[in-house]
Amino acid sequence: MSAVLLITADVELPELLRHLIEEARSLVGAHYAALGVLNQTRTGLEEFFTVGLDQEQEERIGPRPVGRGVLGMLITDPQPLRISNLADHPGRYGFPPGHPPMTSFLGVPVRVRNDVYGNLYLTDKIDAVAFTDEDEALAEALARAAGIAIENTRLHERIRVMSVLDDRDRIARDLHDRVIQRIYAVGMNLQGAIRLPEHAQIMSRVSRAIDELDTTMTEIRSAIFELGETQLPDGLRQAVLELSDDLAPSLGVRPDVTFEGAINNAIPQHVGDHVLAVVREGLTNAGKHAGASHVWVSVAVNAHVTIEIRDDGEGIELPLTHPGLGLSNLRDRAHKLGGTFEVLRGESGGTLLIWSVPL
C-alpha cells in the first residue's frame, strides 16, 4: 500500500495521515473517511482529518467535531463499531447544518498495543448497505499503521525535548535499518493482499501484518531507549532465513541464502544484530531498485564475518557520489566494528554488496 510505504519517507504527519485515510477509503469502498487524533488526556479529539469532502463542503460544515455522539462512543470504548444506518442509532448526535447525509458507518480505534491515539472513520459503503468483516480487518490494519505514524512522531518529539545528542546518530541508524525497512516490507505484503482471491487469504495476510507492526513498535522503543539487544532464541542462522522469507514479497523472488562456518556459535550477539540489519537493508534495497529475477545472500564466518548480497538486476551507478541513508548506515556499522563495506558491480551484471568485520 502506497500510504504505508510513505511511513518510510520523510513525510510530515498530517500529509501521511491523509494518505492513510485515502487508502482506507479506497480499499473498503467508502464515500467518506476521516481520522480523529485524541488529545493528551484522551477525552476528546484535538485534530480531525477528512477525505471525500470538497472545499465548499468543508467550509459549510464549519468547526471540526470534538468527539460527541457515535464518535464519542469510540473514544470511551475503543472497539470496532459498524452501523448500517446512522439515523437509527441511539448514540447519534446529529450532523451540523451543511453536512452531507451519511448512512452506513465503520469506526476502528487507531492503536498500538494498548495505547489508543485516535479513531479511523469510514462512512457510506459504495454499492452495499453496510461494511463487512473484510472491510473492518483492512481498516484495522491501516489504523495500526496510522498509530505507528502518530507514536513515532511523538517519540521523536520526546527525543528532541530530552536532547539525547550523544545517541541521535545511533537512534537514526537503528530506526532506519531495523524499523523503517520492516514497515516497508509490511506495506508490500499488504499491497499484495489486495490481489488475493480468497477472503481467508486476505485475513491471514492482514493478521500477519498487524503482528509485524506490533514487533515494529517494540523495535522503535528499543532503538530510542536502548532497551537491550535483540534476542534470537533460534539462532542467527534461522533469523537470517526468516528475514529473507519475510522480505521475499517485496523482492518478488525468494532469496537464495547460503552459510559457511559456525554462524550461531562464532558470531557474538552484538555483531549478530548488525548482521540482521545489513541483510535487511541489502534485500530491501534490491527490492526497491534492482528489478532482479534472482537474489543471493551469503554469510560466511572465519576470522571475519562477511556478508555478500548479490542480484542480477539493473545494477547501480558507480561511483556512489551521494549514497542514501541506508548505504551510509551499512558503512558506519562496518567502521564501528573495524570492518569494511563495498558496493560493486556484479561480474555478470547487477549489484554486489560486501560487508565484512573482524571477529
Distance CA 328, CA 171 (A): 14
C-alpha cell at 26: 479506497
At 292 the pLDDT is 84
- Please identify which residue in the block is written with the cell numbers 499503521: 145
At 164 the pLDDT is 47
Distance CA 109, CA 121 (A): 9
Sign of the Cα pseudo-torsion (177, 179, 183, 189, in order):
positive
- What tens digit of pLDDT does each residue of 78-126 get? 999 999 998 888 877 777 787 888 999 999 998 877 788 889 999 999 9
Give percent above pLDDT 90 in the chain.
Answer: 23
Nearest residue to 255 via CA among 245, 265, 263: 245
Q: Name the residue ranges covered by the structural domains of the chain.
A: 2-225, 236-358
DSSP H helices in the chain: 2-5, 13-28, 55-61, 69-76, 133-162, 168-174, 181-193, 199-225, 236-251, 263-266, 269-285, 325-336
How confident is the model over 9-30, as a mean pLDDT?
80
- What tens digit of pLDDT does each residue of 250-259 get? 788 899 999 9
At 153 the pLDDT is 75
How confident is the model over 138-160, as a mean pLDDT?
79
At 340 the pLDDT is 94
Higher pLDDT, 236 or 216: 236
pLDDT at 227 over 50: no
pLDDT at 167 over 60: no
pLDDT at 11 over 60: no
pLDDT-derived band at 172, boundaries 50, 70, 90: low
How confident is the model over 186-192, as a mean pLDDT?
63
At 8 the pLDDT is 45
Cβ partners under 8 Å of residue 315, min gap 6: 345, 346, 349, 350, 351
- What tens digit of pLDDT does each residue of 114-146 get? 788 889 999 999 989 999 999 999 888 888 888
Distance CA 232, CA 166 (A): 27
Nearest residue to 178 via CA among 246, 132, 120: 246
At 325 the pLDDT is 65
How confident is the model over 35-58, as a mean pLDDT?
87
Half-sphere exposure of 125 (CA within 13 A, CB side): 21
Q: Do the beta carbons of residue 70 and residue 84 sit within 8 Å? A: no
At 7 the pLDDT is 45
DSSP H helices in 129-256: 133-162, 168-174, 181-193, 199-225, 236-251
Domains 2-225 and 236-358 share a fold: no
Which option is the CATH number for 236-358: 3.30.565.10, 3.40.50.11540, 3.60.15.10, 3.90.25.10? 3.30.565.10
How confident is the model over 23-35, as a mean pLDDT?
91
pLDDT at 160 over 80: no
CATH architecture assigned to 2-225:
2-Layer Sandwich (3.30)
Nearest residue to 205 via CA among 218, 194, 221: 194
pLDDT at 329 over 90: no
